[in-house]
């Protein structure tokens, strides 16, 4: 993947530790409360498993556009989401 913009990559050990901590925290929340808060964008588009707490990389594309690159831990599927930050002028 060739990216021309600066990006932030999270070390695998840190990402795994954060994922484990998040999974333990989510296991303590009752299922009904979790399902009410569940955002469909926060799941793997292939297997629908919960997305990791943090993307594996984030890229600022300019004009307030940020691409987040995700990797599903259970199935290994990778996907990208785009977020536009308000208040940034092109």
Q: Given phi > 0 = left and psi -120 to 50 = alpha, else beta, which region is 70? A: beta
Q: What is the pLDDT of residues 39-81, one digit of tens each?
A: 445 789 999 888 888 899 999 998 889 999 999 989 999 999 9
Kindly give, in sequence order, each residue whose CB lies less than 8 Å from that of residue 51, ignoring residues fewer than 6 positions away: 42, 43, 44, 70, 72
> Does the pTM exceed 0.75?
no
Tokens (6 digits) for 10? 């999270």
| Angstrom distance (rounded) from CA 47 to CA 72 | 9
């Amino acid at each position: 993947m060739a990216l021309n913009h600066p990006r932030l990559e999270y070390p695998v050990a840190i990402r795994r530790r954060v994922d484990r901590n998040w999974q333990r925290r989510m296991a303590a929340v009752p299922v009904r409360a979790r399902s009410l808060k569940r955002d469909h964008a926060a799941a793997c588009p292939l297997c629908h498993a919960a997305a990791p707490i943090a993307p594996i990389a984030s890229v600022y594309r300019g004009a307030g556009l940020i691409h987040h690159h995700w990797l599903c831990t259970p199935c290994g599927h990778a996907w990208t989401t785009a977020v536009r930050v308000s208040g940034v002028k092109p």
